[in-house]
Structure 1
Amino acid sequence: MFAIRLTGALDPAFTWAVPVGGALPPGEVGAEAEALVAATPEITGTGRVLVLPRPLRLPARVLLAGIGDGDEPDWRAAGAALVRAVADDEELQVHIPAGTTPAALRGLAEGLWLGGYRYREAPRAPRSAAVQLVVQDLSGYAESLTQARATAVATWLARDLTNTPASVKNPAWLAGQIVAEAATRPGLTVTVRSGDELSRFGGLLAVGGGSVSPPRFVELSWAPEGASTHVVLVGKGITFDTGGISIKPRDGMKLMKKDMGGAAAVLAATLAVADLGLPIRVTTLAPLAENAVSGSAFRPGDVITHYDGSTSENTNSDAEGRIVLADALAYASAELRPDLVLNLATLTGANAVALGKRTAALYSPDAELAAALTEAGAAAGERMWRLPLAGEYAENLRSDIADRVSAPLGPGSVMAALFLRDFFPGTRWAHLDMSAPSWAEADDLDLTKGATGWGTRTLIRYLSALHGG
């Protein structure tokens, strides 16, 4: 990951970047930039970059970046646009006008890092040259840069894990990656359950039973001394989803390496909590399995016994995510006594039908919690929309042979949320169905083509705000 540093003086040996909307640098460069902006007023739009070439002079190029209304998302978009406008080895200095808020600088730094991401096994490596942010007060923005870096490191990791091909990324491999990452951060502990240790996790065993790669259950814990609030994060970790016996068509299956995006987000966010030293207890649960087709795969019509002893009639083996999440939620309720539970999952295609490609569906019986998550997502650049846990649909969950059916008729995303709601009786619970925004078909502002790491940034913002940080 390339470095971003704070410095106190512009250096003409670097390429300069200037946000349009703030004060321009003094002297000849500022005058030239002002004239170009006046001639090209559309440059003020969010995420636009205009190049001012200066042949035989220093700096040789000045990049003018539009910041729109100048709020944090606009600065984030400007950072992403700037990093895409420079060569990988080009040294860049960004002029930060006096009066720029720490939030704006955080947005800019996040945009630079997130826009500069490339999957590590891609032919081109991430940019190697450092970026410098030129500010008048070096101390006033240090915390913003620290927060931005922790967020970017976590998001890069979530993207890396999700982009990794399923030929590499089986449950054991993914669990091993988290064990290795946690080992570099004091205060984190990891428990990885497998084999006979999973005897009570009937949903996880059923979904993973058709694969030659057995399931794992990862529990990652951060418990600083004196922490009074205990948050449990749960993420769906299906390392590849064929749909099982209810097999997907080819077009529906080709991106199913991303079906562990929820687990990647919650695990990466927890690592960031440790990096930031947040004084809050976080326990993160990731049920990991591969949903494969074989003679040992679970079948429609099977009855599954979950961790809490309740049963589900499987009516669609391609609705496997809720089945593994049910075990994790039941485990959290029985064993962990959390103050609140948040679960993230690439759960339903209905999410995309209802809300499009950039918005997750949010479900919670707690209006205050839903509002706080929505606010955190807006600040982080991850949009969500609260949908109703409509009680009148609960009747659709009725089964003749079990406590419930797994995939009833009705509005798909809502029915999945109602199914999960059964496994955590407390009201301080929220479910984010983030299948659609977990993947980008092309570079788009702070997103790069491929896995987005959606949810990582929202969780970091929410958990930071929870303790007043």
Structure 2
Amino acid sequence: MPAQVSPPAFALSGRPPHELTGVEVLALPFTVADDAPVLGAGAAEAAQATGLDLAGVLTSRRVKGTGGEVVVVPVGGPDLRLVLLVGLGEETVTDYRRAGAAVARASFDHESVATSIPAGGDAEALTAFVVGTMLGSFVFHWRSQGPEHEPVRRVVLAGLAGDDHASALERGLALGGAGWRSRMLATVPSNLKSPQWLAGQAEQIAGEHGLAVEVWDENKLSKQGFGGILGVGQGSATPPRLIRLDYTPAGGRKAARVVLVGKGITFDSGGLSIKPAESMTTMKRDMTGGAVVMAVLGALGALGCPLRVTGLVPAAENAVGGSSLRPGDVVTHYGGRTSEVLNTDAEGRLVLADAMAYALDKLEPAVLIDVATLTGAMKVALGQWTGGFFANRDALADALSGAAAAAGEPLWRLPLEPDYEDTLTSQIADANNSPGGPGAITAALFLQHFAGDVPWAHLDIASAGDAPNDSFEWTKGPSGFGPRALLTWLTGPDPLAGIVG
């Protein structure tokens, strides 16, 4: 079992950073104006208290002041070891998030850091800084001797006190924690991460956060006609599951319901339409959509979401075996629609379709959103730092893209172009699952048939499912991309305005 590494603990203090005792690292802000560095909140006082010419250091380094730029100043004191001078750029929310991530990376293997960086901003800046610090600290390991590096254990946010700051801190912890959980689930190797294991994680989240949980095993899936999930999972030694989590706000049993569906392919070999070996190396993260949904459900209570939210995760391993789904087979989805399987590596849409059909039949969603690392075509289109999405309502598209930009998980809308609809044609079934290019669009058109007339969005995050290197709050490897964007939308003011009713 991998050892769990925890994110830093955070505390607020009304005292300036240099007055805090037992701190190994001070992190102080700066900007650049008219080509000259300007010390930010608490930095000049810390310079005087420590006897360090921090302004001179910045001048000698010819800093640019961009968000997340770091100058490390070693200190030989018995407690204080480092001073970090961190750029705040134009002091946007993004700059504060990047500054937090920079502090996290520069503070690895230290016990404590005190910082006045967010003291110069508003509540949104404080939240963003906390999110960046948490996610920049992310570590996952399965090493016999412990992790190569450990995140700083304690972060004191200096010069900040009071209920307003406490609320902003709690929001940051919830958003950052959801990103951490999603990334952790996506990073767990598939020799542990079976559909049953994923269901166990959902049950743990439900217990921690007061959610209702239900899990369908292979027998219940068969009795209720979930042919897509069963078909994809039939070649694996670990049978599939359908996971359901339900969040109900206090006094909100009649509130509108949003349904989130997350692809839970715990490993994707491609099935009999097998992937090249090099393409399989990242496929432990093909359940990122499911991880996003589970992480979102776990954070809704802490963020005070006013809506009912149901999360559905169709979980299966797409394996190669004597009983694997064959090209040319036909599966019958929940509700009766049929799909001819021309490519067993286009399996994600088959499991999503079952869960979406169930949502329409049983849950009366006001809004339906599916999340999946679905198509390589999306990575070709958008690279690795931006997720793609489709929506059948402009108001929903605007709400999601705005929330995503604010959260630091940008999404780019692509068209549900009807001219490609005829590529879905099958001679023997309602549709085929591999209609060809443009691959991201035709996959979305396939799923649209399972959305009915409900406001619906399809998030194809295959583009952003892996971070190619450490960059700001992203750490190299499975990214867990998506929960911050969805949570920002779901917990914002009147999230269904203009979309429903």
The question of a shared fold, defined as TM-score above 0.5 by the shorter chain, is answered with: yes
Separation in 1 of the partners of 2:493 and 2:366?
A: 12
Q: Which amino acid letter does the alignment assign opposite residue 92 of structure 1?
A: V
> Given the superposition, is the C-alpha separation of residues 192 and 287 from structure 1 closer, same or farther in structure 2, using an over 3 Å criterion?
same
Say which is worse superposed, 353-362 or 130-139, in terms of deviation: 130-139
Alignment gaps of 5+ in structure 1: none
Aligned match of 2:402: 375
User: Deviations 1:85-104 (Å, cap 9, x if unpaired)?
Assistant: 12423321001465511111
Deviation at 1:120, TM superposition (A): 4.7
Q: 1:7 aligns with which of 10, 13, 16?
A: 13
Aligned match of 1:325: 352
User: Deviations 1:113-149 (Å, cap 9, x if unpaired)?
Assistant: 1001101535316425201011244333111110111
Aligned match of 2:214: 191
Deviation at 1:407, TM superposition (A): 0.8
Q: Is the 8 A contact 1:119 1:159 kept in 2?
A: no
Q: Is the 8 A contact 1:89 1:129 kept in 2?
A: yes
Separation in 2 of the partners of 1:77 and 1:385?
A: 21
Q: Which amino acid letter does the alignment assign opposite residue 345 of structure 1?
A: A
Aligned match of 2:241: 216
Aligned match of 1:151: 175
> Given the superposition, is the C-alpha separation of residues 140 and 320 from structure 1 closer, same or farther in structure 2, using an over 3 Å criterion?
same
Separation in 1 of the partners of 2:117 and 2:188?
A: 36
Separation in 2 of the partners of 1:27 and 1:172?
A: 55
Q: How does 1:389-404 map to 2 (within 5 A)?
A: 389-404=416-431
> Given the superposition, is the C-alpha separation of residues 28 and 279 from structure 1 closer, same or farther in structure 2, using an over 3 Å criterion?
closer
Say which is worse superposed, 243-252 or 128-137, in terms of deviation: 128-137
User: Deviations 1:275-328 (Å, cap 9, x if unpaired)?
Assistant: 334221000000000001111111111111111201111110000000000001
> Given the superposition, is the C-alpha separation of residues 240 and 466 from structure 1 closer, same or farther in structure 2, using an over 3 Å criterion?
farther
Q: Is the 8 A contact 2:366 2:454 kept in 1?
A: no
Deviation at 1:56, TM superposition (A): 5.0
> Given the superposition, is the C-alpha separation of residues 259 and 60 from structure 1 closer, same or farther in structure 2, using an over 3 Å criterion?
closer
Say which is worse superposed, 318-327 or 17-26, in terms of deviation: 17-26
Q: How many residues were matched structurally?
A: 468
Q: How does 1:68-87 map to 2 (within 5 A)?
A: 68-87=89-108
Separation in 2 of the partners of 1:459 and 1:408?
A: 29
Aligned match of 1:90: 111
Aligned match of 1:203: 228
Say which is worse superposed, 329-338 or 458-467, in terms of deviation: 458-467
Q: Is the 8 A contact 1:190 1:218 kept in 2?
A: yes
Separation in 1 of the partners of 2:196 and 2:78?
A: 56
User: Deviations 1:312-357 (Å, cap 9, x if unpaired)?
Assistant: 1111000000000000111111111000011100000001100101
Aligned match of 1:115: 136
Q: Secondary structure at the match of 2:63?
A: helix
Q: Which amino acid letter does the alignment assign opposite residue 335 of structure 2?
A: D
Sequence identity percentage: 43
Aligned match of 2:461: 434
Q: Secondary structure at the match of 2:96?
A: helix
User: Deviations 1:377-432 (Å, cap 9, x if unpaired)?
Assistant: 11111111100000000011111111111110220000000000000112410001
Q: How does 1:284-363 map to 2 (within 5 A)?
A: 284-363=311-390
Q: Secondary structure at the match of 1:44?
A: coil
Separation in 1 of the partners of 2:61 and 2:133?
A: 24
Q: Which amino acid letter does the alignment assign opposite residue 209 of structure 2?
A: R
Aligned match of 1:421: 448
Q: How does 1:228-243 map to 2 (within 5 A)?
A: 228-243=255-270
> Given the superposition, is the C-alpha separation of residues 75 and 95 from structure 1 closer, same or farther in structure 2, using an over 3 Å criterion?
same
Q: 1:455 aligns with which of 482, 491, 497?
A: 482
Aligned match of 2:57: 36
Q: Is the 8 A contact 2:218 2:230 kept in 1?
A: no
> Given the superposition, is the C-alpha separation of residues 23 and 175 from structure 1 closer, same or farther in structure 2, using an over 3 Å criterion?
same
Aligned match of 1:260: 287
Alignment gaps of 5+ in structure 2: 1-5, 32-39, 497-501
Separation in 2 of the partners of 1:219 and 1:13?
A: 46
Deviation at 1:12, TM superposition (A): 5.8
Q: Which amino acid letter does the alignment assign opposite residue 239 of structure 2?
A: P
Say which is worse superposed, 57-66 or 308-317, in terms of deviation: 57-66
Q: Which amino acid letter does the alignment assign opposite residue 206 of structure 2?
A: A
Say which is worse superposed, 424-433 or 131-140, in terms of deviation: 131-140
Separation in 2 of the partners of 1:330 and 1:443?
A: 38
Separation in 1 of the partners of 2:449 and 2:493?
A: 26
Q: Secondary structure at the match of 2:140?
A: coil
Deviation at 1:59, TM superposition (A): 4.6
Separation in 2 of the partners of 1:417 and 1:367?
A: 16
1:17 aligns with 2:27: yes
Moved over 6 A (4+): none
Separation in 2 of the partners of 1:374 and 1:121?
A: 36
Separation in 2 of the partners of 1:265 and 1:58?
A: 40
Q: Is the 8 A contact 1:266 1:459 kept in 2?
A: no
Q: Which amino acid letter does the alignment assign opposite residue 28 of structure 2?
A: V
Deviation at 1:233, TM superposition (A): 0.2
Deviation at 1:444, TM superposition (A): 1.1
> Given the superposition, is the C-alpha separation of residues 56 and 154 from structure 1 closer, same or farther in structure 2, using an over 3 Å criterion?
closer
Q: Give the root-mean-square deviation of aligned CA atoms.
A: 1.9
Say which is worse superposed, 128-137 or 406-415, in terms of deviation: 128-137
Q: Is the 8 A contact 2:365 2:454 kept in 1?
A: no
Separation in 2 of the partners of 1:319 and 1:54?
A: 56
